[in-house]
Amino acid sequence: MARSLIGGLISSRVKPGSIYAADVNTDTLSALTTDFSIQACEHNQQLLDSCSIIVLSVKPQVMKDVVSALNISNKTDVMFITIAAGIRVESIQNWLGQNTAIVRAMPNTPALVQTGATALYANANTSAEQKEAAESILRAVGLALWVDEESQMDAVTALSGSGPAYLFLVMEAMEEAGINLGLTQETSRLLAIQTAFGTAKLALEIEESPATLRERVTSPGGTTEQALRVFNESELKAIFNKAMTAARDRAIELANELGK
């Protein structure tokens, strides 16, 4: 995700020389500096001393150790953006200091191709200017929007954070069904992927709800209606609701576990 953000920022005409990175893996850091011509820092404190915006692109399991080692006593204007799933703002404030400006972001994997969807939540210490800067960074890899309550981030995790896996599963199922109906694997896969891509693009560009668009492509007594009848009989919407509730609940559990 860090590589995606760096690439997106540079594509948005941010000067590479203004971007700094630190990583315990020297090979990863070397690859970033070689590929993007950004600045390398030998350790996290050096990066903190050089920047006013810090993106915490680390695994949730090591977040506490990473931020607790930082000395921010001389940094009154720094903002931290965390993209670690399941780590609440309160926990990071406990580790860094209660007056720290923190933005929690939940991007998803399509950010790798700059078509991500990110929800943002800022604590009360974050200024309007800092919020604007955080939004600009995440907009470099796709859509970015704000939520009013941090608890909504658990629902975001269940919807857009985990969402790509749901859609990959749908594409996988369509591909397999196409093969069972006599298509070759290559043909079935390409048709399933392109259909998913085109449908998403259509939904983005036409100002109508998915429900309305679904109705427009469903002719009475036609093939689509028959397929949708099977989905409805199988209570597909209820299955999605149950699955996403389970994902939301697990996000809450992880936040409780990792925030200690």
Tens-place pLDDT, residues 18-38: 999 999 999 999 999 999 999
Which of residues 130, 156, 182 is at a domain's end? Answer: 156
Q: Are residues 200 and 224 in the same domain?
A: yes
pLDDT tens per residue, range 135-192? 999 999 999 999 999 999 999 999 999 999 999 999 999 999 999 999 999 999 999 9
Q: Are residues 149 and 21 in the same domain?
A: yes
- CATH number, domain containing residue 76: 3.40.50.720
Element (H, E) at 185: helix 185-205
Residue 252 CB partners (closer than 8 Å, separation 6+): 154
- The pLDDT value recorded for residue 85 is 85
Buried b (16+ CB within 10 A) or exposed e, 193-231: eeeeeeeeeeeeeeeeeeeeeeeeeeeeeeeeeeebeee
| Predicted confidence band of residue 258 (pLDDT cuts 50, 70, 90) | confident
Q: Are residues 64 and 89 in the same domain?
A: yes
- The pLDDT value recorded for residue 153 is 95
Percent of the chain at pLDDT exceeding 70? 100
* Residue 250 within any structural domain of the chain: yes
Q: Are residues 42 and 130 in the same domain?
A: yes
Reduced to 3 states (helix: H, G, I; strand: E, B; else coil), residue 79 is: strand
Residue whose token pair is 């069972």: 180
| Predicted confidence band of residue 57 (pLDDT cuts 50, 70, 90) | very high
Q: Are residues 76 and 112 in the same domain?
A: yes
260, pLDDT greater than 80? no
Q: Are residues 102 and 217 in the same domain?
A: no
pLDDT tens per residue, range 93-115? 999 999 999 999 999 999 989 99
Give the mean model confidence (pLDDT) for residues 211-227.
96
Q: Are residues 54 and 147 in the same domain?
A: yes
Q: Are residues 59 and 173 in the same domain?
A: no
86, pLDDT greater than 90? no
Q: Is 132 exposed, middle or buried (0-12, 13-18, 19+ CB in 10 A)?
A: exposed
Q: Which domain holds residue 22?
A: 2-156
Which of residues 156, 183, 209 is at a domain's end? Answer: 156
Element (H, E) at 142: strand 142-146
User: How high does pLDDT run on average in the chain?
Assistant: 94
What is the C-alpha radius of gyration for the chain, rounded to an integer number of angstroms? 21
Cβ 115 vs Cβ 88: under 8 Å: no
Q: Are residues 19 and 146 in the same domain?
A: yes
Which of residues 97, 121, 156 is at a domain's end? Answer: 156
Token readout for 194 is 């392109």
* Residue 260 within any structural domain of the chain: no
Cβ 137 vs Cβ 5: under 8 Å: yes
Q: Are residues 146 and 177 in the same domain?
A: no
Reduced to 3 states (helix: H, G, I; strand: E, B; else coil), residue 255 is: helix
Cβ 4 vs Cβ 112: under 8 Å: yes
Per DSSP, what are the bridge partners of residue 20? 39
pTM above 0.85, yes or no: yes
Q: Are residues 120 and 103 in the same domain?
A: yes
* Structural domain count, the chain: 2
